[in-house]
Structure 1
Amino acid sequence: MEPRNIKNVLERAVDRNPDKVYLLYGNQQITYGQMSNFINQTANMFLDLGIRKGDRVALMLPNCPEFIYLWFGLVKIGASMVPVNTFFRERETAYILQHSEARAMVATPDYWPIVQKAMETGNIQLGRRLCVGGSWGDTLPYEKIRTQFDSEFTGIDLKFDDEAAILYTSGTTGNPKGCLESHGYYLVAGNRYSSHLSLTANDRVITPLPLFHMNPQILSTMGTLFVGGSLALVDRFHSRSWWQEVRAKEATHFHYLGVMPAVLMGTPEQADDGEHPHWIGIGAGVPKTIHRPFEERFNVTLLEVFGMTETGLNFCCLPQPERNVGTACFCKPFMEYEAKVVDDNDNEVPFETIGELVLRGSDPANRQRGFMFGYYKDPQATAKAWQNGWFHTGDVVRRDTEGRYYFVDRKKDIVRRSGENISASEVEGTIHLHPAVMDVAVIPVSDPIREQEVKAYIVLKEGYSQQSMPVQELIRWAEEHLAYFKVPRYWEFCESLPVTQTGKILKQMLKLSKEDLTVGSFDRQRCQWIS
């Protein structure tokens, strides 16, 4: 029988093989049966604390097994999880707690001071407060009280459309939006992920991505549960030990974001870089210029995907030649979805023409199946996103004559210079190839003549300085590898770039960093620094 909720998927996996190791973290190896006992204890604990179906509980935790126990403990009782980005400070945390109307909070000692300040700032009252991995103030010690409860749990009725979580976007352009997710959202994505990749019970998926993010929830966790596989968690991505972690956990698949391949390609080559069973990487944003060299060096296949917190997982290439390596191709939409490319007036554009990607479900009776319910408490934003019956992703793509889709850039990251559309990601990828460049971000700067100009922020690798690597050298590199109108006019060196915990550059922070974005930059046109 097809699962109707997340609980069904979990319990089916436990019943199939309770003694099989499911969760690997550090030196811990936790079987399905052990995990189920911890989850049931957690569910009974929440009920004893007065949490009921429909209530919301916020989690501010690093990657750890306890996140899984708490998440699925809430699932079992029909409550809703509200993960909080562990990069958030008190203002952002206060907003999440107020907006979601969370009744309880779970955090580690590292994050409770932030939560406490958030509560004071927002005058927030939380009915229950628990601490994982230690003690803090008068919070309840989760591990200690959990053991007081029965490891058997009598389930409650849960439906496909019941609320399962509110997942907040990163809020790069304002307050984070709360995406209201159902059990169905998790089921559609997890099932499609596991079947598309032909995962089996023998597969192990390792992810360094934070569990507060949709990716490890709906893909790594749900996907492995669907097939009875195993999940390996790491606290975060460490470039120097990443491949050792993959080997030690005997992973068959790993998850990445674009920043990871770029960083790993920058590490010194080792004789054993490719000496291992062939691995499959699943992710998005690998720079086009290093996609194939990365695969060849490390004996891996990188499959580009497309998905969003709002839409779930919608595209993923297969490990076949026609995936068009090095072109930012994420192939064709899954059978559960329909896609098209439109202009600013929602008119579909011809093949090979760039435009915005819009999506909807393929079921005529429910075009939003597998998508979020909507933005919580923001019906206007929901209606705007779903205008004309299609979800507007905000991503600029193109589609070839075979129906494959290619990522161009975020719509807000397209630079309009003298009538030309310039992809910030293309410029970034080219500059990133320079051997002295560690990281780069490109943004538009307003210009009275050309509408916008291109500005590049540069982080140099260790051992390089502005003296040893003058800006003119980087400009020459860009001029050799880019069309003239794409070469940045403004260049600024910086120690680091602001990023989210998933590695996405916070370009909005760069755009708001100063009133005049040309100040502190080298002006390529005038050949001088602007003070």
Structure 2
Amino acid sequence: MKTVFDVFSKAVEAYGDRPFVHIPLSAAKSYSDSAIDYTYAEASREVEQRRAAYGAAGYGVGHRVAILLENRADFFFHWLALNALGVGIIPLNAEASPQDLHYIIYHGDADLVVSLPEKMTLVEEAIALEQESEHPPLCSATLEGLPPATRPALDHIPDTATECAMLFTSGSTGNPKGCVLSNEYFIAFGDWYRNVGGYCELHPGEDRLLTPLPLVHMNALACSTMGMMGVGGCIIQLDRFHPKSWWDSVRDSGATIIHYLGVLPAILLNMEPGDKDKAHKVRFGFGAGVNPKHHAAFEERFGFPLIEAWAMTESGCGGCVIASHEPRHVGECCFGRATDEVEYRLVDDEGNDVDPGLPGELLVRATGDNPRYGFFDHYYQNSEATEEAWEDNWLHTGDIVREGADKSLYFVDRKKNVVRRSGENISALEVENVLLLDPAVDTVAVAPVPDELRGDEVMALIVAKAGKTAGEALARDIFDRSMEQLTYYKTPGYIAFVDELPLTASKKLKRGDVKSICAKLVEEGQAIDLRHLKKRPKKD
């Protein structure tokens, strides 16, 4: 098999009458009066219809289409149709600001943007921000209105090296980087999930995997989707996490697997216990970031293990480590032991291997002749960042990890200047760049602070401009203005005003000191708490 479409086609042949995708009513109620279901055979017909339309419009290898289709069945149909033609996709977040969408669409060199009709205004606002391009990307809200490609496709048959998707991930630079992911990346992820075994053994033709995670991220797009297609399983795709209807969705959908992020167990544990807490078919949860204090309590209350794993968009499955076998070291931030397919090192700031038991930056690569098998291809239009990430032919993850006596790996902290809030990687520099434009802000430093529900929260240390009165009113004004420029989850959940920021002799921020100061101010109640204002925009 050379493409994601090949994997799907094989599943159609073997499991045609089995369910492929299920959208519960709780996730579809904004656009449907009932739950949505497609078998593999039914989905195949939908894919072929779209494949024919895109092909007739001239799209093929070398083209890239941005799709804003939320977590709907149509997302899968468009993606598979485009992949069959060799077209790469850029999944767009419907909750992103026009500024964020503008950057992704133009930096990603999208030839076409396909959107839900009700989101076309958002797309048009994003495109209207461009002042230099003489040829803005084409847009379409319907398959029938698909505009023809403005340049010819390459004369090439799609294969494992063909671009499948470009996912944007925030790192230590101000703007997100476009991770180019090949067909090989996705196929390898499906193979990995099918073979991981242990607590995560998959049952061909039977498993039903429920995920609330967005299809704009690697976990839902590559891991759960490819895992299910590889064994003829059903993808139960929620629009997002709904705490009140969560267990009803789990039970009514017959889910046997759930995917989670750390915020999910925390919220579910805070709900009142009930006599139906274990009335489900779930065998295991697969995810990352569960609060150590919640891990054992969740498993005891709800009756299934939460299997912690480590991966990042760049590592794909090539560097993935998962605690799918004992010892899992529940409640200790353990994500398992590396298999024979993964090599790793833990190094200090000078690149030297740390002594056993001490924390160091995690470096990973695949064993064998191709150390980059299963990893991302490159950062789009950023060869310097690609080379930096792959220095000495090891992927530098930016995560601080320690190794236990039994070779189990434990997450310690993040070296990179990233806030990871509810699964979203947020660049501190990106938030700083927006806040620096605020008329009330002189200088600013942004850092993550611990949040029991969301893992991290965004905090800003601000030196106010002369004449501005520091306090809650000013913090609220700054927050409100940041909401106009940033996607809601990137805005500061805490603001604290300070007289000066910690700087080195060369006037660079002491990032470690900033992080410590922020944590202390929150702990002592001296930071202005704005978390209640961080709300996703209402749907149109």
Q: TM-score range by the shorter chain?
A: 0.7 to 0.9
What per-residue deviation string (whole Å, max 9, x for no partner) do you get for residues 233-252 of structure 1? Answer: 11110011111111111011
Match of 1:325 in 2: 330
Aligned partners of 1:341 and 1:356 also within 8 Å? yes
1:103 aligns with 2:111: yes
Cα distance between partner residues in 2 of 1:528 and 1:339: 41
1:209 aligns with 2:209: no
Cα distance between partner residues in 1 of 2:399 and 2:103: 27
Match of 1:134 in 2: none
- Paired residues in the alignment total 444
Give SS of 1:241's match: helix
TM-score normalised according to structure 1 size: 0.76
Query: For the structure 1 residues 400 and 47, does the alpha-carbon distance in structure 2 shift closer, same or farther, using more than 3 Å as the test?
Result: same
Deviation at 1:529, TM superposition (A): 8.6
Query: For the structure 1 residues 527 and 9, does the alpha-carbon distance in structure 2 shift closer, same or farther, using more than 3 Å as the test?
Result: closer
Give SS of 1:276's match: coil
Match of 1:458 in 2: none
Cα distance between partner residues in 2 of 1:108 and 1:386: 37
Cα distance between partner residues in 1 of 2:371 and 2:361: 19
Mapping of residues 136-215 of structure 1, within 5 Å: 141-142=142-143, 157-170=157-170, 173-196=173-196, 197-200=200-203, 201-215=205-219
Cα distance between partner residues in 2 of 1:380 and 1:242: 43
Give SS of 1:39's match: helix
Cα distance between partner residues in 1 of 2:79 and 2:16: 19
Query: For the structure 1 residues 311 and 274, does the alpha-carbon distance in structure 2 shift closer, same or farther, using more than 3 Å as the test?
Result: same
Cα distance between partner residues in 2 of 1:169 and 1:445: 24
Cα distance between partner residues in 2 of 1:52 and 1:528: 56
Code of the aligned partner of 1:12: K
Mapping of residues 353-392 of structure 1, within 5 Å: 353-363=358-368, 365-392=369-396
Mapping of residues 340-355 of structure 1, within 5 Å: 340-355=345-360
1:130 aligns with 2:140: yes
Cα distance between partner residues in 1 of 2:527 and 2:310: 40
Code of the aligned partner of 2:17: D
Query: For the structure 1 residues 281 and 241, does the alpha-carbon distance in structure 2 shift closer, same or farther, using more than 3 Å as the test?
Result: same
1:83 aligns with 2:91: yes
Match of 2:450 in 1: 428
Code of the aligned partner of 2:299: E
Deviation at 1:218, TM superposition (A): 1.0
1:64 aligns with 2:72: yes
Aligned partners of 1:78 and 1:158 also within 8 Å? yes
Deviation at 1:334, TM superposition (A): 3.7
Query: For the structure 1 residues 359 and 97, does the alpha-carbon distance in structure 2 shift closer, same or farther, using more than 3 Å as the test?
Result: same
Query: For the structure 1 residues 262 and 371, does the alpha-carbon distance in structure 2 shift closer, same or farther, using more than 3 Å as the test?
Result: same
Cα distance between partner residues in 2 of 1:7 and 1:272: 39
Code of the aligned partner of 1:360: R
Match of 1:249 in 2: 253
Give SS of 2:305's match: strand
Of 395, 398, 401, which residue of structure 1 is paired with 2:399? 395
Give SS of 1:247's match: helix
Of 4, 19, 40, which residue of structure 2 is paired with 1:6? 4
Code of the aligned partner of 1:325: V
What per-residue deviation string (whole Å, max 9, x for no partner) do you get for residues 81-129 of structure 1? Answer: 1111223211111111111111111111342212101111114544542
Code of the aligned partner of 1:199: L
Deviation at 1:157, TM superposition (A): 3.2
Cα distance between partner residues in 1 of 2:488 and 2:293: 19
What per-residue deviation string (whole Å, max 9, x for no partner) do you get for residues 142-175 of structure 1? Answer: 3x569xxxxxxxx983221111111111468521
Code of the aligned partner of 1:337: V
Deviation at 1:441, TM superposition (A): 3.7
Cα distance between partner residues in 1 of 2:523 and 2:316: 44
* Structure 1 range deviating more: 120-129 or 283-292: 120-129
Give SS of 1:19's match: coil
TM-score normalised according to structure 2 size: 0.75
Match of 2:436 in 1: none
Query: For the structure 1 residues 506 and 442, does the alpha-carbon distance in structure 2 shift closer, same or farther, using more than 3 Å as the test?
Result: closer
Cα distance between partner residues in 2 of 1:221 and 1:311: 17
Cα distance between partner residues in 1 of 2:127 and 2:3: 33
Match of 1:136 in 2: none
Aligned partners of 2:360 and 2:401 also within 8 Å? yes
Cα distance between partner residues in 1 of 2:307 and 2:20: 24
Aligned partners of 1:77 and 1:156 also within 8 Å? no
Mapping of residues 271-290 of structure 1, within 5 Å: 271-290=275-294
Code of the aligned partner of 2:221: Q
Match of 2:343 in 1: 338
Calculate the aligned-residue CA RMSD, in Å.
3.6
Deviation at 1:346, TM superposition (A): 1.1
Match of 1:480 in 2: none
Aligned partners of 1:315 and 1:330 also within 8 Å? no
Aligned partners of 1:340 and 1:348 also within 8 Å? yes
Aligned partners of 1:276 and 1:299 also within 8 Å? no
1:232 aligns with 2:240: no
Cα distance between partner residues in 2 of 1:356 and 1:394: 6
Deviation at 1:371, TM superposition (A): 0.8
Aligned partners of 1:45 and 1:145 also within 8 Å? no
Deviation at 1:445, TM superposition (A): 6.5
Uncovered stretches (5+) of structure 2, i.e. residues with no partner: 25-34, 147-154, 420-446, 464-475, 502-516, 529-540
Cα distance between partner residues in 1 of 2:90 and 2:192: 24
Aligned partners of 2:89 and 2:165 also within 8 Å? yes
Aligned partners of 2:92 and 2:101 also within 8 Å? yes
Cα distance between partner residues in 1 of 2:60 and 2:238: 31
Uncovered stretches (5+) of structure 1, i.e. residues with no partner: 132-140, 147-154, 416-423, 448-491
